[in-house]
Structure formats: structure tokens, C-alpha cells
């Protein structure tokens, strides 16, 4: 979005159609956006369309095996392109860094808690797990960083909606699992959290805790409406994180983490690339003005590459 667009009564007349996945978390996130827009524009008619994505249909397979790009977004993006919906509400970390030419992120609402959380079947802290415990997660980023803390643990697949994964934990499928704190907060399931991990222990995924509202790049009407929910600091932070991830081209097969905070109009960017077994971590950080998102992302990527991140990423790709 460039210059602010004036919201006039005529802009609010046609209904706004919002697309969402059907999971509990997706519906909660979308309803939050709808509630914010309804509060800002009581006269705006908003309709929600539930759309099933490929990622929803392949719940039984680990994400690194089936590929991550577009698994939870492609069908929503097709609905945007054909005009059946006006906006799609995504978890920002699910949204590919490269979008179709006619689509764009039109707003980033204020970020929720970006941390990862430990959920144990018996309430035992992660550091207190018995040796050789099984931990539920298919995220290579989480696995690698947990192995940096403890080499003895092993991992089991734990996919499904947030509520489904919690049920699997409590029935004993694993000693515990790592879930996003934001998702637990948004679904009202934070009571199950044993403890959150500090970002110094588990650096979050790019976009974790943030929502990305995608729409048609030339839809000035929707751009005007979404000004009410866009949060500039979150937009800058997540844009920087996504720029780093895009430049690295790590995909979902290489453990990469990027996390940006905003303090006193400055961006603080931390990034990590590490082998899947938790060895040879490459960690960098950069600080700069809020207005220099591109420059900060470039510095971080340059520093990562200088320390060997490309070699790690290349080794994680198939047939290398």
C-alpha cells in the first residue's frame, strides 16, 4: 500500500467477502479480523467463505515431505484471482514469500505472541524430560533448535489442527510437543501450555504470530478498508523477516529462523540457519532504522552467507 486511501460510504456498500481455511485456528483468526473491521465500519456487510486447501487434505504427511510452499494458501489465492473472495486471512508463516503478480499482502494486523510453547502430557518442563524422550513436531526449525539444547531426544510426527495435536499429546502420543503460542492464545487453549520458550532458545519462524491479509494488488477499495487493521510496526517486522527468508530460499527443508522486533523506531533482526541435527548453527543479528527494512534484510542475508548458511541450505535440498 502506498498513500492512504480515503474511506467513503460508497466504498463500504458492496459486501466484503473474506476467505479462510476451515481449521479452528484459521476460523478464529479470520473472525478476529472480521470483528475488528466490523468495529471500525459497523455499516460494512462482511461474509466469510470457508475454503479447503491441499495442506488441510494431507494431514497425515510431514510438511517437509510434501513441500511447504502454497500448501495452505493456493486455493485461497485462486479464489482471490477469480473474484469469489475479496481478501484471504493467513497465518503469515504459511504464506509463501513469492506471491502471484496480481496479489499482494494488503495488511498485517498487530502481532500476537511470536514464541514457541512447550505443551507436555504430564506438565513436565522441557529441560526436565527423561532421557530419550519423544517430542512431537514435524518442523525442522524446531527440531534442530531443540537438538541444540538436548541431543538425546527423538521426534514423532504430530500434525493436525491445534486442538487435535493437544488431544494427541494428552493421550500419550509423545512426552510433549512444541506449538505456536499465538495459535494457542487465539484458540483459547493457552491453559495447556507448560511453558513458552524464550526466543534465545527457540528463535521463531518468519511471520510467526502474525496474520497476513492478502488481496488483489489493484483493489484500492479493499486497501482502503484494511487500513483500519494494518499495524505499521508489525508490517515492517514481518516484511523484513520474509525478505530474509526469500533471499535465502531455504524453503521448508532447511532449518531457518528469523525474528524481528521494533523498539524506538528501530528494527532488531535475529536470524539462524543450522543443520537439521542441530550442529554448526549460523546466527547473526542486525539493527537499523524502521525505514530501512530492505537494507537490514540484505545485511542479515549477507552475514549469514558469509558464515556458511548457503552450504547448510544446499545440503538440505533433495539430490544434493
Question: Could you tell me the domains of the chain?
Answer: 16-109+210-230 (3.40.190.10), 116-196 (3.40.190.10), 242-316 (3.30.160.40)
How far, rounded to the nearest angstrom, does the alpha carbon of residue 280 sit from its chain's CA centroid?
A: 25
CB 194 within 8 A of CB 200: no
Mean pLDDT of 171-190: 96
**56 catalytic residue (yes or no):** no
Is the confidence at residue 308, as pLDDT, over 80?
yes
Q: What is the pLDDT of residues 196-209, one digit of tens each?
A: 999 999 999 999 99
Active-site position among 35, 45, 86, 94: 94
pLDDT at site 43:
93
The runs of H, that is alpha helices, within the chain are: 24-40, 54-57, 63-66, 74-81, 140-149, 162-170, 181-186, 220-226, 232-248, 293-306, 309-316
The whole-angstrom separation of Cα 135 and Cα 146 is 9
Is the confidence at residue 320, as pLDDT, over 60?
no
Strand order of the β-sheet with 256-263 is 256-263, 266-273, 282-289
The whole-angstrom separation of Cα 314 and Cα 301 is 15
Least Cα distance to 47 among 87, 25, 16 occurs for 16
pLDDT at site 9:
79
How far, rounded to the nearest angstrom, does the alpha carbon of residue 157 sit from its chain's CA centroid?
A: 19
Q: What is the pLDDT of residues 1-56, one digit of tens each?
A: 445 566 787 888 899 999 999 999 999 999 999 999 999 999 999 999 999 877 66
Of 23-37, 110-124, 248-262, 302-316, least confident by mean pLDDT is: 248-262
CB 88 within 8 A of CB 207: no
Is the confidence at residue 295, as pLDDT, over 70?
yes
CB 7 within 8 A of CB 224: yes
pLDDT at site 2:
45
* C-alpha grid cell, residue 85: 473472495
What is the CA angle 44-19-246, rounded to 5? 120
Residue 222 C-beta-side C-alpha neighbours within 13 Å: 23
* C-alpha grid cell, residue 68: 511447504
Give whole-number Cα distances, 134 to 121, 144, 153, 163, 190, in Å. Answer: 11, 14, 6, 20, 22
Least Cα distance to 101 among 214, 247, 217, 224 occurs for 217
- Of the chain, the percentage scoring pLDDT greater than 90 comes to 83
pTM of the model: 0.91
DSSP states of 262-300: EETTEEEEEEEE--TTS-S-EEEEEEEETT-HHHHHHHH
CB 144 within 8 A of CB 253: no
* C-alpha grid cell, residue 210: 502474525
In angstroms, what is the C-alpha Rg of the chain?
A: 20
The whole-angstrom separation of Cα 15 and Cα 21 is 20
pLDDT at site 1:
42
Amino acid at each position: 500500500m502506498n498513500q492512504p486511501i480515503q474511506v467513503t460510504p460508497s466504498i463500504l456498500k458492496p459486501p466484503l467477502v473474506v476467505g479462510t481455511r476451515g481449521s479452528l485456528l484459521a476460523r478464529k483468526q479470520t473472525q478476529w479480523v472480521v470483528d475488528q473491521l466490523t468495529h471500525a465500519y459497523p455499516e460494512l456487510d462482511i461474509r466469510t467463505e470457508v475454503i479447503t486447501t491441499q495442506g488441510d487434505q494431507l494431514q497425515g504427511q510431514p510438511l517437509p515431505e510434501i513441500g511447504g510452499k502454497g500448501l495452505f494458501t493456493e486455493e485461497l489465492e485462486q479464489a482471490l484471482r477469480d473474484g469469489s473472495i475479496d481478501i484471504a486471512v493467513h497465518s503469515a508463516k504459511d504464506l509463501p514469500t513469492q506471491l502471484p503478480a496480481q496479489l499482494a499482502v494488503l495488511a498485517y494486523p498487530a502481532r500476537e505472541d511470536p514464541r514457541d510453547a512447550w505443551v507436555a502430557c504430564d506438565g513436565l518442563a522441557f529441560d526436565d524430560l527423561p532421557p530419550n524422550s519423544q517430542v512431537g513436531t514435524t518442523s525442522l526449525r524446531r527440531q534442530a533448535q531443540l537438538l541444540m539444547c538436548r541431543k538425546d531426544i527423538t521426534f514423532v510426527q504430530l500434525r493436525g489442527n491445534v486442538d487435535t495435536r493437544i488431544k494427541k499429546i494428552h493421550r500419550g502420543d509423545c512426552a510433549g510437543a512444541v506449538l505456536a503460542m499465538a495459535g494457542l492464545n487465539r484458540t483459547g487453549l493457552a491453559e495447556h501450555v507448560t511453558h513458552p520458550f524464550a526466543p534465545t532458545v527457540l528463535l521463531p519462524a518468519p511471520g510467526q504470530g502474525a496474520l497476513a491479509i492478502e488481496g488483489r494488488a489493484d483493489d484500492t477499495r479493499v486497501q482502503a478498508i484494511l487500513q483500519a487493521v494494518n499495524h505499521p510496526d508489525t508490517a515492517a517486522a514481518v516484511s523484513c523477516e520474509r525478505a530474509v527468508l526469500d533471499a535465502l530460499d531455504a524453503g521448508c527443508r532447511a532449518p531457518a529462523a528469523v525474528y524481528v522486533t521494533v523498539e524506538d523506531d528501530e528494527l532488531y533482526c535475529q536470524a539462524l540457519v543450522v543443520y537439521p541435527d542441530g550442529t554448526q548453527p549460523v546466527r547473526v543479528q542486525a539493527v537499523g532504522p524502521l525505514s530501512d527494512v530492505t537494507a537490514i534484510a540484505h545485511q542479515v542475508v549477507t552475514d549469514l552467507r558469509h558464515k556458511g548458511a548457503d552450504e547448510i541450505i544446499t545440503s538440505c535440498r533433495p539430490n544434493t
